[in-house]
Amino acid sequence: MNRSACLIFNPVAGQGDPEEELAQIRAMLEPTINLDIHLTTVEIDADELARAAVARGVESVIASGGDGTLSAAATAVVGTDIPFGIISRGTANAFATALGIPDTIAGACQTILQGTTQAVDVAYCNGKPMVLLAGIGFEAETVERADREAKNRFGILAYVLAGIQELRNLERFEVEIETEDRIIKTVASAVTVANAAPPTSVLAQGPAGIIYNDGLLDLTILAPVSKTGAIAATFHLFQTASTGNAAERDDIGYLRAKQFKITTNPPQKVVLDGELIGTTPIEVQCVPSGLNIFVPTTEEIEPTEKLNGLPNLTVEFKNGE
């Protein structure tokens, strides 16, 4: 044994047999890594287990479960030099997909065994660590509608069905977005701030790719004027994610910045890494290279921006321009 790691395993994640999945992980990792295995429970979540592991001085932390488990465990190692491994077994597996990590147990274990560590960005949203994204408005309402029973029954389709149902309640709201150098005011149905996001997180796909190691956050504004427009805009974002080309519709805007302060009228629900955390306003700050993770490398994409065409748009530059 030349390596050791704390394995945090959520036995209720996903739709597979947890005993078989844990046995598969142990069979692949234990010949090389000395695993200290801890299971999450109703009383003890992944965040608490990971913090205890860091306090013990572990060499690395590996988390296995859904996106909530992975994000919670990751928060404990943010700002440390402890490598973090991901074995996704959830419904969406957005965390792994966003970082280019295989979403199979075998592939994820191979990444941990053979991959090199890479520093990736994280962020803080209202003081809470954020690995993936914060969604305001439509996305938050959709996540709330897709409950555990639906996810167990339909898997990733639960989010699609919830989104279709939520279109019936689609509302627009005033939003003010403040960056380091300007203040933007417009009207929107959804605003998404992403540190990393898979193609399936379509409402984050305004820019031509989400870069998780550039020291910047990617913000997408969805501003359809009707339910039909919302469907068309969402489909356009799906195409953006599939082709890697930036969105070109007038009801979709996007920009990149190190930090965002977002207020809305009226207040809107906010989902952070798949979990509802309350309502706006929010402040999000990027933490460059805040997490060391076992992840394949990716090609960088030049930052892009598009705001023209958004409804009731005003932009005020702080330097007086």
Over residues 49-98, the pLDDT tens digits come to 999 999 999 999 999 998 889 988 998 999 898 999 999 998 778 888 88
Contact (CB, 8 A) for 267 and 127 = no
Task: State residue 140's pLDDT score.
Answer: 66
Is pLDDT at 148 greater than 60 in this prediction? no
How many of the other CB atoms lie within 10 Å of CB of 46? Answer: 27
Rounded to an integer, the average pLDDT of 220-239 is 79
CA gyration radius, the chain: 20
Q: Which amino acid is at 32?
A: T
How far is residue 280's CA from residue 269's CA, in Å, rounded to a whole number? Answer: 6
Over residues 4-44, the pLDDT tens digits come to 999 999 999 888 899 999 999 999 999 999 999 999 999 99
Rounded to an integer, the average pLDDT of 201-209 is 79
How far is residue 66's CA from residue 94's CA, in Å, rounded to a whole number? Answer: 9
Rounded to an integer, the average pLDDT of 222-237 is 78
- What the chain holds in terms of domains, given with CATH numbers, is 3-115 (3.40.50.10330), 128-288+298-317 (2.60.200.40)
Task: State residue 302's pLDDT score.
Answer: 54
Is pLDDT at 48 greater than 90 in this prediction? yes
Residue 213 CB-half CA count within 13 A: 17
Is pLDDT at 179 greater than 70 in this prediction? yes
Over residues 301-316, the pLDDT tens digits come to 455 677 777 888 888 8
**CA dist 146 to 65, 151, 166, 271, Å?**
18, 7, 10, 12
Rounded to an integer, the average pLDDT of 197-206 is 81
Is pLDDT at 197 greater than 90 in this prediction? no
How far is residue 37's CA from residue 46's CA, in Å, rounded to a whole number? Answer: 12
Q: Which of 25-29, 161-165, 198-202, 260-264 shows the lowest per-residue confidence on average (mean pLDDT)?
A: 161-165
How far is residue 288's CA from residue 123's CA, in Å, rounded to a whole number? Answer: 8
Over residues 262-283, the pLDDT tens digits come to 999 999 999 898 788 999 999 9
How far is residue 133's CA from residue 114's CA, in Å, rounded to a whole number? Answer: 28
Q: Which amino acid is at 195?
A: N
CA nearest to 114, candidates 306, 247, 302, 294? 294
How far is residue 4's CA from residue 85's CA, in Å, rounded to a whole number? Answer: 12
> 172-206 burial, b if ≥16 CB within 10 A, otherwise e?
bbebbbbbeebebbbbbbbbbbbbbbbbbbbbbbb
Task: State residue 37's pLDDT score.
Answer: 97
How many of the other CB atoms lie within 10 Å of CB of 3? Answer: 14
How far is residue 186's CA from residue 306's CA, in Å, rounded to a whole number? Answer: 13
CA nearest to 256, candidates 311, 316, 317, 307? 307
Share of the chain above pLDDT 90, in %: 50
Cβ within 8 Å of residue 104, ≥6 positions away = none
Task: State residue 159's pLDDT score.
Answer: 46
The structure tokens listed for 111 are: 């990444």
Task: State residue 168's pLDDT score.
Answer: 58
- Which regions of the chain does DSSP assign to beta strands (E)? 3-9, 33-39, 61-65, 84-88, 117-125, 128-130, 133-137, 173-178, 182-188, 190-194, 217-222, 252-257, 259-265, 269-272, 275-279, 282-294, 314-317
Task: State residue 2's pLDDT score.
Answer: 73
- Which regions of 104-224 does DSSP assign to beta strands (E)? 117-125, 128-130, 133-137, 173-178, 182-188, 190-194, 217-222
Residues 36, 40, 43, 49, CA torsion sign: positive
Share of the chain above pLDDT 70, in %: 86
H-only helix segments in 199-290: 227-243
Task: State residue 232's pLDDT score.
Answer: 79
Of 189 and 60, the structure prediction assigns the larger pLDDT to 60
Task: State residue 154's pLDDT score.
Answer: 45
